Chains A and B, each alone.
Chain A
Amino acid sequence: MSPWVYALFGTAFGFVLSRSGAADYDMIEGMFLFDRFQLYGILATAVALMAPGLWWLKRHGRTAFGQPLSLRPKPRHPGNVVGGFLFGIGWAITGMCPGPVLVNLGEGKVYALGALAGVLVGTALFGALYERLQQPLRLPALRVGTGDG
């Protein structure tokens, strides 16, 4: 499929993140401080609608163009807990999860440049440490990686 199709998907997704508060520092802190329901409502609605949609699509087993659906569940290992917790710390510090880092940047929020630099350095750092973390965290063999997100 043309890269433009994916760019369009990303643009639509980013626009909704921007206008919904998912890329807004106050909304994110408000979620974590239990002051605002907004983000809980968004995630709950998305999952409540996506779950039956996904169930149907898996039963159907094919994409719109007749390809077999390729879906591998993400691997489960202790990194889910440790990494998840670390990511949560970062999300609360910045008020951004990975998508909104880019959305904030597009909106013109200059400080998102700091977050983007941190995410890229952190990602590269994890890659460099992978072999050392593999055993203690029981991460999958490198061929597979830790799945995508």
Chain B
Amino acid sequence: MLILHHLTAMHWAVAGALLAAITWLLLWLTNQRLGISTGFENLCSLVVSTPYLRRGEITGSHGWRLPFLGGLVLGGLLSAWLAGGWAPIWDLGRFDTAIGWGPAGKLAWMFVGGLFIGVGTRMAGGCTSGHGIFGLSNLEPASWISTLSFMSGGILTANLIYRVALAS
């Protein structure tokens, strides 16, 4: 069951097939390699100007990455709206039961996690989409190494939070 409207999640095989189809069509129709976290560099480069954010790969890809990122927000909005209406949500499932912080605590927790995501994905050169879905499919060594690394980091951290720090 999902936090969003307590929906039943789509079957994993259907979801995986749809994500593969969208990724394949994006390459076949538009010649773009799926990758989401790089789009955050495009966003940053609109306000911050460091040599890293000025490289051609970023300045030359605003035209597709920025609308794609906007689409992701829209996809979430549409999903909520079609499932029973859009409304602000503060529910955080397991976190509420086990940790139970209020809005300010959640925002701070998420900000800290976000810092790790931002620095980590840029350092690794990709995230679950570019390395995970695309890079693994393309049998790229960098992607297999990165995916194993982020899965390890996640497994270790979640277990430290829920099985060690909060073990009762």
Check A126 against B76 for contact (C-beta < 8 Å). no
Check A98 against B37 for contact (C-beta < 8 Å). yes
Q: Which of B16, B50, B162 contacts A41 (CB 8 A)?
A: B16
Chain A residues near B147: list those with CB within 8 A. Answer: 84
Check B120 against A90 for contact (C-beta < 8 Å). yes
* Inter-chain contact total with CB atoms closer than 8 Å: 539
Check A92 against B127 for contact (C-beta < 8 Å). no
Q: A15-B78, A41-B13 are in contact. Are A93 and B64 (CB under 8 A)?
A: no
Bound: A106/B3 CA distance, A: 14
Bound: A147/B61 CA distance, A: 12
Check B146 against A102 for contact (C-beta < 8 Å). no
Bound: A6/B35 CA distance, A: 12
The 9 closest A-B pairs by CB, nearest first: A118-B114, A122-B118, A10-B71, A14-B75, A88-B153, A45-B16, A149-B126, A106-B76, A83-B123
Nearest Cβ on chain A to B65's Cβ, whole angstroms: 8
Q: Which residues of A are in contact with B by a Cβ distance under 8 Å?
A: 1, 3-29, 31-34, 37-51, 53-54, 57, 63-65, 67, 69-71, 73-77, 79-99, 101-128, 130-131, 133, 137, 139, 142-149
Nearest Cβ on chain A to B148's Cβ, whole angstroms: 7
Q: A26-B93, A147-B125 are in contact. Are A118 and B162 (CB under 8 A)?
A: no
Bound: A137/B146 CA distance, A: 14
Chain B residues near A14: list those with CB within 8 A. Answer: 71-76, 78-79
Q: Mark B16-42, 1 if CB is under 8 A from A, else 0.
A: 111111111111111111011111110
Q: A24-B4, A94-B117 are in contact. Are A83 and B64 (CB under 8 A)?
A: no
Bound: A122/B108 CA distance, A: 14
Chain A residues near B109: list those with CB within 8 A. Answer: 93-94, 111, 114
